[in-house]
Amino acid sequence: MTEIHTTTALRSSERVIAGTTVVALRGEIDLLTARPLSERLDTLTADSCPDLVLDLRAVSFIDCAGLGVLCRARNRTADRRGRLRLVTGDTGLLRILRHAQLGGVFEIHARLSNALAARPESGDASATAG
């Protein structure tokens, strides 16, 4: 039996909540959608101390290209002494991150409110005043 994977367009919306940019993603993060998403995240992580939350609760699929986008955003954020949080409760995505040995790399929250309220994990003053 052959499985046919059809690509659903990735949609995103952005808003700023108390100085944190929240990017809500809906659809699939794959080879076809990775480049434009990566370009947008590059823009959002260009300044020093970016504070970014990626809301992945409505992401239905992610492949290795999508994981690469998440890693790139994380690395760019860390290089600029910023902070990146992921919001997902999807056990499939959490399993993918764990199998790719990325489970401990990202700060992950099940709820957007928790991601916004959470204090930075490190002793770094990631420049967010409570």
Show me where the domains of the chain are located: 18-117
Q: 80-122, pLDDT tens digit by residue?
A: 999 999 999 999 999 999 999 998 999 999 999 999 998 876 5
6 vs 17: CA distance, rounded Å: 34
Query: Tokens 């699939």 label which residue?
Result: 28
Residue 16: what pLDDT?
A: 97
Query: 11: exposed, middle or buried (C-beta count within 10 Å: 0-12, 13-18, 19+)?
Result: exposed
Percentage of the chain with pLDDT > 90?
Answer: 82
Residue 92: what pLDDT?
A: 93
Q: Residue 69: which of 18, 34, 108 has the closest Cα?
A: 34
65 vs 78: CA distance, rounded Å: 20
Phi-psi region of 43 (alpha: psi -120 to 50; beta: other; left: phi over 0): alpha
**According to the CATH classification, is domain 18-117 in 3.30.750.24?**
yes
What is the bridge-based pairing of β-strands 51-62 and 83-87?
parallel
Percentage of the chain with pLDDT > 70?
Answer: 86
Give the count of alpha carbons within 13 A of 51, CB side only.
19
